[in-house]
A = this chain, B = another copy of it.
Amino acid sequence: MSVTSAQGFVASGVSAGIRPSGKPDVAVVRSVSAAVGAALWTKNRVQAAPVTVSKRHLAAAQPQAVLINAGVANAATGPQGEADAVTSAEALAATLGLATEEIIVLSTGVIGVRLPVDKVLAGSRAAADSLSPEGGGAAASAILTTDSGPKVAAVTTGGFTVGGMAKGAGMIHPRLATMLVVLTTDYPLAAGEPEVFLRPAVEATFNRISVDGDCSTNDAVILLANGASGARRDDEMFAVALHEVCADLSRQVVADGEGATVVLEIGVTGAATEPEAEAIARRIATSPLVKTAAFGHDPNWGRVLAAAGSAPYGDEFARLDTASLTVSFNGTAVFVNDAPTDAEPDVSGAVCRIDLDLGLGAGAAGYLASDLTYDYVRINAEYTT
């Protein structure tokens, strides 16, 4: 269950001394046969150096390997940061016998600190030396920062496998994934095709989760496909498998949100349009008042209503009418026909489902979010520049 679950992929993770804790911090993932690939990147106006460099590489070649370091994000580091990212890619390419443009580089960690290039190069060499089909777990551990543990997933179906790993605990908010994700598959795809499958899968999963509403400078979702399974094409089945792996990983990211104790599943139906449903779901998912109420296991539908009624959409708020809407917590309606039902839903569990049916149209959207807790504050007030 990892980036090496699919045939023909090897990976590794090593400790290179970048993270002060001494924990593993350099990972490499490689396809052993010729792969095609695609990436989706953060839309933040501040883009980390590895993002800029990897975009350039992807425009020039099909990606064959991914080099990831944790501890330092190599963001807001200017031309020096780009040079450092290029140096890292060049070194791994030389070691693996690939072209520099065939390497994707990703970084996660503190913003505004120069990449410790010597440590990354030494780590990259050590990681290249230990690449193995069993290395998926080690790679998944070497890309973490404030995460409490590795996040891996895989689906095997129709003679092929889709596997993946993710990193992300804070700064998790769409546009896009606001985390690092590497997906691999031995399903046969031609150049240009990975993006066609990746975009809708990400839109419905990683772009519908929120831990703190913040959007990182380094976020990326990478898909490598090498066709090593020799499976017959069944694109619908592949799309479903890819979606499942993305959904599994995105849920793991929310559940491991910094300080999270509750996963909020937010479902909006009956909105005037789908974009308005998404705007309302996102607004609820990012409301500090809703998220603290979730932490307190309080079915506070008043805050849900207040958030839903102030969902930015174009120049105003998404349409909503209390006369036609229904709010439910874990399946129990708490607000119907413009009035509270006085029902008392059970929200004692670690998952809290909030459904809004707006009664206006056919627009629907879902969102996953974590609660806002003391530990979120502790982690982020103490984690330093």
Contacts and interface: CB of A to CB of B under 8 A. Distances in A.
A43 interface: yes
A187 interface: no
A229 interface: no
A273 interface: no
A112 interface: yes
A322 B385 contact: no
A379 to B, nearest CB: 8
Interface in A88-139: 110-113
A255 interface: no
A159 B110 CA distance: 56
A285 to B, nearest CB: 12
A320 interface: yes
A180 to B, nearest CB: 15
Contact of A374 (B78, B110, B317, B377): B377
A171 interface: yes
A48 B366 CA distance: 27
A99 to B, nearest CB: 28
Given A309-B45, A381-B298, A385-B300, A340 B213 contact: no
Given A78-B339, A288-B212, A381-B298, A45 B112 contact: no
A234 interface: no
A38 interface: no
Interface stretch (A14-22, A147-155, A239-247, A289-297): A289-297
A181 B215 CA distance: 34
A298 B383 CA distance: 9
B78 A302 contact: no
Consensus secondary structure, chain A interface = loop
Given A318-B45, A340-B76, A111 B306 contact: yes
B306 A44 contact: yes
A216 interface: yes
Interface string A354-385: 00000000000000000011101110111011
Contact of A385 (B213, B301, B307, B316): B301
Given A289-B170, A292-B377, A44 B338 contact: no
A310 interface: yes
A80 interface: yes
A175 interface: yes
Given A212-B289, A374-B374, A302 B44 contact: no
A322 B76 CA distance: 7
Contacts of A318: 45
Contact of A214 (B76, B306, B338): B306
A44 B295 CA distance: 24
Contacts of A76: 302, 305, 322, 335, 338-340
Given A47-B309, A175-B310, 9 more contacts: A43-B310, A44-B310, A46-B322, A77-B339, A214-B287, A215-B310, A295-B377, A301-B385, A312-B312
